[in-house]
Structure formats: C-alpha cells, structure tokens
Chains A and B, each alone.
Chain A
Amino acid sequence: MEEEKKEVAVDAAAAPAAENAAAGVEGTEGAEPKRAERGGISRRGLFIGVGSTVALLGLGSLRYAGHNPLNRPPGGTDEAHLVSGCIRCERCYEACPRKVIVPAKIEDGLLGMRSPMLDFNTGNYCDFCYEENGGNPQCVAVCPTDALELPAAYTVGNPETGETGDVIIGIAEIDPRTCLAYRMTGCRDCFDACKYGAIELKDEGGANPIPYVVEDRCNGCGACQAACLSLSSGSIKSTERAIVVRPIEA
C-alpha cells in the first residue's frame, strides 16, 4: 500500500508542474492570475483523478491477496460477506460487553486490517451475550452495515443447559507439545472452563487426566483459550496458548 500511496504522492507532486505547463500553453495573459476553469477538468484534476483511481483499484486488488483466517464475532463467519460489509466504524468493539472484539492487525493481512476479530488471550471469551443481553449478540445488533449478520432464527450456546447452539465461531484445538496436561501436571483448566461439555478428559479421575476436544459440541466461545495458562506457567517456547480456537475455513 505504501507504494500506491507514493504513486498518488508523486502525482500530486507532478501536478503543479502540469499546471504550469497548462498555463504556459494558454499563457496569453502573461502573469495575470488565472481564472479558475469551470465546466471542465483541468490537467491536474485529471492527474489526481486517474492516479487515485489507479491507486484505489490497486488497493482493491488486495481482495485477492486475502489474509490469515481470523476468529470473527458471531454473525461474521461468512468471511466474504464480512469483508464486503465492514466499513471499519469500530462500533462492535465498543458494544462488546466483554471486550473480546479487537481490530485485526496488519500482520494478518492488509485486507483484514482493522476489521473485527475475537481475541481470547484477553482472558475473556464470547458468551454470545447470553448473560448480558439474553443471547442476542450486541455486536450484531449495533453493526450499522449488517456486516455482522445472523439468520432470522438461531440459537446461541446456552451455558446453563450446556447446549452448543448453532452460532459457531470456530473449533478449539489442543497442541500436545505445549499443553501442560501432557506434561503430567494435572492441569485441567480448559475442561473446567468449558460450559458446553466440548472438552472431555482421557483418564478422568486418574492421576493425569488429559483433555481433548469434542468437536461437534464446541462453538468456539473461547472460554478454554481464555483460561489456558500454558504461556504463563512452565517455560514453554511458543507464541500461542496450548488450546486455541481456530476459525472454520470454508
């Protein structure tokens, strides 16, 4: 994008020169101030217009560059629809009562920059606003462009009954190389955090219970990832927690 921006900047820098050239051609009035031309587009105008159009088309082609898959807020799992609709107005960040919606970083791809994603490493997770708004996600409600959109009828995960619901953010995945339970520490924080019975233990009640994910019960709420302490306990070299929610790739 830097390059494209520069391109426009160059056009802008070239514009005064073009203006002078234009004045030179028409220069019958000598040094007298030039009447602004109306009813036509000046050469500089053409430069800026065409240059910017080219730059914006270049920027648009980012669509094909794509970006890393991200965990989207409820109603944002149709990636193509979200990218088309989101105008980066930042209302969903504000609306989220648990503050798990954060702007996507440039590192994950320019196309997705500043679009909403869920960050469960904040120590909080998405309960689909079950507690705060009776299961009617606030982010979806405030989204003014319907970029976050749920079908007319839907059920969200119910932490009281343990129902998974049909709004799925992603599926949790355990990395055995970094999971503390695999090191015989007896850690079962993710199992305790899951309200939908999506994590079960091998050798439950034994000395070393090891968690695994039951995929069709997981709705990607992120409670397990929020509770995981693999990065803060034990000197394990990794950039992410041992249990993370992965978006479902279409």
Chain B
Amino acid sequence: MKTKNLRTIIAAVVFGAMAFGLVAGVSTGTLSGFGWDTIAALCPLGALGTMIATKTMIPRAVISLVIMAALVLLVGRAFCAWLCPTTLIYRIRDYFRSPKKRKALAEQKNSEIKAISQQELEGLHAAMGKGAGAKGDAEGGHACGVCGKCQPVKHGKLDSRHGVLAGALLSTAVFGFPVFCLVCPVGLTFATVLVLWRAFSAGDATIGIILIPAMLIIEIVFLRKWCTRFCPLSALMNLVGRFSRTFVPVINDEKCLETAKGASCSKCAEVCEFDINLRHPDFGELTTADCTRCRACVDACPTKAITMPLFAPAKKGTVEVLEPTLEDLEPKLD
C-alpha cells in the first residue's frame, strides 16, 4: 500500500475515534489534550500559551512539552503528515478537485521542479566541461560547490511561521489568555464536530455552526500553504525538528538518476507535500528540518535511492549537515 493512503487512513481513524469519543463522552480527549483520566499529552503550543497566560508552571504542561520535544527530536514533524486533521482536510480538498485542475497543478509543479533540476545539472556539466577536477570528489566526479548536493544543507533559520508563533505568544503574554487556541485549525476541526453534533442531538442552534467551519475554511483555503507559511505549531516543531537526526530521508547517490546518470528527475521534490527539495535543498521552501517522515519521496523515487535509516549514514566528507547554533536562532531581518 502506498504510504500516502496509509497516512490518510491513520489520520482519519484517529480523528474519527477522537470525534466519536467527544460526542459519546469517552474520556480520551482530542488532539489538543490526548489522554486518559488525569493523564494528558497536551498540545505543546497550548501548554506554552497557558503557562505564559497564567504565569505559573503547570506540571502537566511541562511534562507534555518535554515529551513532545523528545518525540519531535525522534521523528520530526511526523504529527503533521500522520495525524493532523488539517492534512486530512487538504486531502479531502484534493479529492474534490476537478481532474483538469489536478492535472494543471501537477504539471505546474512538475515544470517548476524540472527547471530547477535542469538548471542545476547544466551548472554541473559546465563545471565538468571546464575540466575542473581539482575539487571533484571521487564518487560523483564533478566539482563541488556547483550543485546543491555538495553544499552543506543550511536549515532555514526563521521564516514567516516563526513570526506567527512570536505574534501568538506575544498576544498571549499581553492579553493573558491563549489567543491562538481560539483560531487553531486542529481545535476548530473538533469544535466543528461538537457544534454539529450538538445542533442535531440537542437542537442547539448557534452562529457557531456556520462561523466555526468558516474560520477553518478561511485558514486552510485562503491562507495559502498554511502548514508551510502560517502554522505556529509547525514553527514550534521546526525549532526542535532541526536537531533531529533520526529517520531523515537520505539519497543514495549511486542510485539517484540525477547523480548517477545525470538525468533530470527530482521526483522527490515534486511529491513532497511539505515543500522540501531533497535533491536540491537550496531550492525548497523548507529543509529536512521540517521533514514529516511522510515517506512520499521514498515511495516516489524511480530508482529506490531514498531511504529513511534510523541514523543517517556518515557522509564521506562531502556533505555535512551544519548544526545550527544559538546565533542561528536569532531572527535576522533584511
């Protein structure tokens, strides 16, 4: 089975079970605070928000934050691809797109990615044509520093999401309540379930029946690329995910069409739902710091060159991943 289908099923089953629990009163919580009885794994942003707002250390919130940080360190933003209902809504939206639109979008993305790949390959050939073998590495046989492959991957430092995160926390500190929780798409999804259920079961008519789903749709449809550009949760996970070294996808250059055959492919970049370009990292909007371990690139690779090993194998001195320093975390505005 394709991992994409598996992901959809897992996210749908988890969402369905929690939504059922919500209306049937099975005390398992929602994704905002999953747990049983007095145990709860809290949403890390909610945990931060509530502690900032009440200016107190809340034991359950601190424990949740530590657990979440450990999980993100292990599997990055896996939550986004495997559990988040927002991704599920995107899937539904894709499903209802006309075949024409779907084809047009796919072609557009394909040509974009292909252009990047071709440009990089041309640069590579040009460098090889000059016979510059001086800095060439034995394996690829080309000059380093020309293509993205041999350059160190610099994880994006801070982007617009971190601005949203900072704004959310600032507003929470100023006004003393977890502001983002009011508009969080994960919370709104469950709120939609609850408000609809109450409308039918208890005849509870409220504007919320329209307003809650409307807010959700505005966020997901009108704020383009919510997950990549807006979501403060994704920003928070990025801050920890950039230190993750486990299950990160790696390309075997001996198998990859681009490095082994010099053919333009970049299928991995084309299928990535989270705007990462694994082959040419410099051209992706995000880097593997935001990898959701969704395995789309592993599935799509025509030569099965991509794997997700527990630990990335030691590089042969060519590609090294730079450890971000504290300085890197400082926002730098141009």
Q: What residues make up the interface of A, taking CB atoms closer than 8 Å to B?
A: 1, 5-6, 8-9, 12-13, 32-36, 38-42, 44-50, 52-57, 59-63, 80-81, 83-91, 93-96, 99, 102-103, 105-107, 110-111, 113-114, 122, 138, 141-142, 144-147
Q: Provide the residues of chain A in CB contact with B22, threshold 8 Å.
A: 90, 93-94
From B116, B168, B229, contact of A48 by CB (8 A): B229
Q: Provide the residues of chain A in CB contact with B176, threshold 8 Å.
A: 63, 80, 83-84
B16 to chain A, nearest CB (A): 15
Instruction: Say whether B158 faces chain A, with CB atoms less than 8 Å apart.
Output: yes
Q: List 20 A-B contacts (CB under 8 A).
A: A5-B215, A5-B222, A32-B119, A34-B283, A40-B334, A41-B332, A56-B171, A57-B167, A62-B182, A63-B177, A86-B178, A87-B46, A87-B49, A89-B30, A89-B42, A89-B43, A102-B202, A105-B208, A114-B208, A144-B61
Residue of B155, B223, B230 contacting most chain A CB atoms (<10 Å): B223
Instruction: Say whether B157 faces chain A, with CB atoms less than 8 Å apart.
Output: yes
Q: Provide the residues of chain B in CB contact with A105, threshold 8 Å.
A: 204, 206-208
From A47, A88, A106, contact of B181 by CB (8 A): A88
A75 to chain B, nearest CB (A): 14
Q: Is the CB of A49 within 8 A of B160?
A: yes
Q: Is the CB of B222 within 8 A of A12?
A: yes
Known contacts A41-B332, A85-B50: A142-B37 contact under CB 8 Å: yes
From A9, A36, A39, A57, contact of B171 by CB (8 A): A57
From A12, A32, A99, contact of B223 by CB (8 A): A12
Rounded to whole angstroms, the CA-CA distance of A32 and B117 in the bound complex is: 11
Instruction: Say whether B40 faces chain A, with CB atoms less than 8 Å apart.
Output: yes
Rounded to whole angstroms, the CA-CA distance of A145 and B177 in the bound complex is: 12
From A46, A83, A110, contact of B333 by CB (8 A): A46
Q: Provide the residues of chain A in CB contact with B184, threshold 8 Å.
A: 88
Instruction: Say whether B141 faces chain A, with CB atoms less than 8 Å apart.
Output: no
| Extra pairs beyond A53-B164, A59-B171 (18, CB < 8 Å) | A5-B218, A12-B224, A49-B166, A53-B167, A56-B170, A57-B175, A62-B175, A86-B181, A87-B50, A89-B32, A90-B190, A96-B25, A102-B204, A107-B206, A114-B191, A138-B27, A144-B64, A145-B58
Rounded to whole angstroms, the CA-CA distance of A141 and B230 in the bound complex is: 34
Chain B interface size, under 10 / 10 to 19 / 20 to 34 / 35 or more: 35 or more
Q: Is the CB of B164 within 8 A of A52?
A: yes
Instruction: Say whether B162 faces chain A, with CB atoms less than 8 Å apart.
Output: yes
Rounded to whole angstroms, the CA-CA distance of A95 and B187 in the bound complex is: 18
Q: Provide the residues of chain A in CB contact with B208, threshold 8 Å.
A: 103, 105-106, 113-114
Rounded to whole angstroms, the CA-CA distance of A142 and B60 in the bound complex is: 11
Q: Is the CB of A144 within 8 A of B179?
A: no
Known contacts A39-B154, A61-B175: A52-B64 contact under CB 8 Å: no
Q: Provide the residues of chain B in CB contact with A60, threshold 8 Å.
A: 171-172, 174-175, 177, 179
Instruction: Say whether B136 faces chain A, with CB atoms less than 8 Å apart.
Output: no
Rounded to whole angstroms, the CA-CA distance of A73 and B171 in the bound complex is: 27
Q: Kindly report which residue of chain A lies nearest to residue B223, judged by CB atoms.
A: A12
Q: Provide the residues of chain A in CB contact with B28, threshold 8 Å.
A: 94
Q: Is the CB of A145 within 8 A of B42?
A: yes
Rounded to whole angstroms, the CA-CA distance of A40 and B160 in the bound complex is: 10
Q: Is the CB of B332 within 8 A of A40?
A: yes
Instruction: Say whether B253 faces chain A, with CB atoms less than 8 Å apart.
Output: no
Q: Provide the residues of chain A in CB contact with B112, threshold 8 Å.
A: 33
Q: Is the CB of A144 within 8 A of B178?
A: no
Q: Kindly report which residue of chain A lies nearest to residue B158, judged by CB atoms.
A: A41
Instruction: Say whether B282 faces chain A, with CB atoms less than 8 Å apart.
Output: yes
Rounded to whole angstroms, the CA-CA distance of A89 and B208 in the bound complex is: 17
Q: Is the CB of A89 within 8 A of B29?
A: yes
Known contacts A88-B191, A106-B208: A44-B160 contact under CB 8 Å: yes
Q: 1/0 contact trace for B144-165 toward A, CB 8 Å? A: 0000000000111111101110
Instruction: Say whether B54 faces chain A, with CB atoms less than 8 Å apart.
Output: yes
Instruction: Say whether B13 faces chain A, with CB atoms less than 8 Å apart.
Output: no
Q: Provide the residues of chain A in CB contact with B158, threshold 8 Å.
A: 41
Q: Kindly report which residue of chain A lies nearest to residue B172, judged by CB atoms.
A: A60
Rounded to whole angstroms, the CA-CA distance of A142 and B37 in the bound complex is: 6
Closest 5 CB pairs of A and B: A49-B163, A53-B167, A89-B33, A60-B175, A87-B46
Instruction: Say whether B5 faces chain A, with CB atoms less than 8 Å apart.
Output: no
Known contacts A89-B32, A90-B30: A141-B50 contact under CB 8 Å: no
Rounded to whole angstroms, the CA-CA distance of A138 and B333 in the bound complex is: 48
Q: Provide the residues of chain B in CB contact with A44, threshold 8 Å.
A: 160, 229
Rounded to whole angstroms, the CA-CA distance of A146 and B223 in the bound complex is: 33
Instruction: Say whether B309 faces chain A, with CB atoms less than 8 Å apart.
Output: no
